């Protein structure tokens, strides 16, 4: 076992965590450059076992602009049948690879006393991809926060309140930043308006990766 990345000094504390709204935290530069490279390499390796696929909207079947894959015991899937968690990759039928250790470190550092995450959704944004305003509400437990890691190109993150019509604000997320949606913001609307192409050299192909860690079922 490698040393715990927290005690190895790879993580956290580079910039103070800011509270964007009650329960909505931004840990700027949570991952330093070496940790970002390691985590991006872990994702690339996971994607060999669990290839990126293009999700489709429920009912309409309209393709998402992002590509997705998952790590962990459960993966988030969207297609004509709806949004849901599944234990197997929709194309290969295999279980998903384990959640990368560095991603779990972010959960341990930022998710408080929440039990371990069961799902790690991985979104890949190319220069033109975006993510419409939505809530993460397919879980059976909203006590645990959602922990969301940015790698690669900058992105404009929009966040609001519990209602779609609530006023929204935006913040530019950079590689290594981690956002936590917890407490009163666990079900806040959020999305990605745009990617800023070629703002990071982390990913050889350019673009942005987002890793979203979630608890899916209530603790045992
Ligand atoms: C998401 O909410 O699914 C993704 C958020 C992000 O890409 O930062
Ligand atoms: Fe989300």
Three-class SS of 129-146: CCEEEECCCCCCCCCCCE
Flag whether 2 is in a domain: no
For 209, the 3-state DSSP assignment is strand
* 3 domain-assigned: no
| CATH number of the domain enclosing 145 | 2.60.120.590
Contact 39, 115 (CB under 8 A): no
Position 23 in a domain: yes
pTM reported for the whole predicted model? 0.94
Query: What's phi and psi for 212, nearest 5 deg?
Result: -115, 115
* Distance (Å, whole) CA 217 – CA 114: 12
Cβ proximity of 137 and 146 under 8 Å: no
Closest ligand 1 atom to the C-alpha of 157? 8
**Closest ligand to residue 68's CA:** 1
Q: Which ligand is nearest to the CA of 131?
A: 1
Q: Distance between CA 189 and CA 185 in Å, rounded? A: 8
Domain assignment present for 64: yes
**Is 212 close to ligand 1, i.e. is its CB under 6 Å away?**
yes
Residue 7 included in any domain: no
Q: Are the beta carbons of 27 and 108 closer than 8 angstroms?
A: no
Would residue 86 count as lying in a domain?
Answer: yes
**According to the model, what pLDDT value does residue 4 have?**
39
* Å from CA of 153 to ligand 2 middle: 18
Look at residue 10 in the predicted model and tell me its pLDDT: 45
Q: Give the separation between CA 39 and CA 214, rounded to whole angstroms.
A: 17
Gap from CA of 135 to ligand 2 centroid (Å): 6
pLDDT value of residue 12? 58
User: Domain range for residue 94?
Assistant: 17-166+177-214
Identify the nearest ligand to the CA of 210 by its number. Answer: 1
How far is Cα 79 from Cα 101, in angstroms, rounded to an integer?
29
pLDDT at residue 6, rounded to an integer:
42
- Tell whether 65 is covered by a domain: yes
Per-residue pLDDT, 2: 36
* Structural domains of the chain, count: 1
Write down the H helix ranges in the chain.
33-49, 101-110
Nearest alpha carbon, ligand 1 atom 8: 210
| Residue 103 within any structural domain of the chain | yes
> Tens-digit pLDDT profile for the chain (220 aa)?
333 344 333 455 568 899 999 999 999 999 999 999 999 999 999 999 999 999 999 999 999 999 999 999 999 999 999 999 999 999 999 999 999 999 999 999 999 999 999 999 999 999 999 999 999 999 998 999 999 999 999 999 999 999 999 999 999 999 999 999 999 999 999 999 999 999 999 999 999 999 999 999 987 7
CB of 159 within 6 A of ligand 1: the answer is no
């Amino acid at each position: 076992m490698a040393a715990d990345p927290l005690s190895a000094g790879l993580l956290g504390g580079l910039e103070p965590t800011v509270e964007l709204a009650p329960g909505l935290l931004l840990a700027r530069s949570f991952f330093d450059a070496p940790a970002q490279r390691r985590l991006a390499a872990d994702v690339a390796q996971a994607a060999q076992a669990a290839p990126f696929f293009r999700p489709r909207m429920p009912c309409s079947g309209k393709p998402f602009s992002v590509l997705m894959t998952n790590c962990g015991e459960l993966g988030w899937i969207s297609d004509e049948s709806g949004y849901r968690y599944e234990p197997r990759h929709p194309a290969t039928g295999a279980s998903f690879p384990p959640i990368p250790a560095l991603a779990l470190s972010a959960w341990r550092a930022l998710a408080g006393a929440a039990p371990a995450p069961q799902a790690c959704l991985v979104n890949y944004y190319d220069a033109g991809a975006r993510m419409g305003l939505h809530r993460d509400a397919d879980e059976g437990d909203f006590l645990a926060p959602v922990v969301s890691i940015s790698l690669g190109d900058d992105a404009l993150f929009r966040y609001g309140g519990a209602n779609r019509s609530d006023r929204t604000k935006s913040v530019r997320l950079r590689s290594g930043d981690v956002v936590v949606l917890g407490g009163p913001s666990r079900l806040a609307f959020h999305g990605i308006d745009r990617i800023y192409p070629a703002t990071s050299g982390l990913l050889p192909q350019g673009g942005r990766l987002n890793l979203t860690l979630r608890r899916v079922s209530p603790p045992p």
